[in-house]
Amino acid sequence: MEALILYFVLFFPGIAASPPPDWLANGVDTVRTVPFSVLRELGRTLTHTLPALALLLYLISRGEPKPVKIRTLAPQKRDILPFAIGLPVLIIIGLLIPFLISLSAATAAAPPRIEGPYNFIGWAVMILACLGIGYLEELYFRYYLLSKTENIIPQAAVRVLFSTVLFALCHMHDGPWGVLNAALAGLFLSALFLRYRSIHGIALAHAGYNMFVYVMGTV
């Protein structure tokens, strides 16, 4: 129950604050462009992402049945491999979606095009925002959720499916193709975490992919 309550507290405010998705509005194949805003990204990072991350770390440190010492989560050399595997695969998944859209006759709207920053301050804010979101989502959906439900859901595949569904639902504002992108990425990141037990590797890969999306928005 705590995991579900935390899910709604951490992630649904962001969903509610997102612009209305085009695919709900008219169901046509349109691409919404989201301009980059330093104030919006900095405000969201300082007022939601970082406090949510602090709350999650606090709950992890007081977890049951065994509390976790946060210092044990420090980066290690073993984080390099999951990062090196994770980032290119996430980019491939992200590039696969436009290809599938081009092959599909469906009228569902493509995910919004995210514009990149336009100056040094913008890039600095973007990097901070991507790191914050990467760590927040990976700490919750992979580290916290897969571990928290281990006692009540012993089957790893079921836990992965549960985590992936919740992760995909957080991306409903990106439309059906965005949900599919999140589902594929969630399955892959869950498998990567269970294999290597590396939070930094997958969080940095997640953040790196988000940065890649912004970079693609500048070209």
Domain boundaries, the chain: 82-219
Tens digits of residue pLDDT in 75-128: 888 899 999 999 999 999 999 988 888 887 665 667 778 898 989 999 999 999
Give the residue among 106, 90, 95, 111 at the shortest CA–CA distance from 202: 90
- Residue 57 has φ and ψ, to the nearest 5°, of -65, -40
The pair of three-digit structure tokens given for residue 125, joined into one six-digit string: 């804010």
Tens digits of residue pLDDT in 131-160: 999 999 999 999 999 887 888 888 999 999
Q: Which residues of 135-172 are buried (b: 16+ CB within 10 A; e: fewer)?
A: bbbbbbbbbbbbbbeeeeeeeeeebbbbbbebbbebbb
Q: How far is 118 from 80, CA to CA, in rounded Å? A: 30
Cis peptide before 65 (omega within 30 of 0): yes
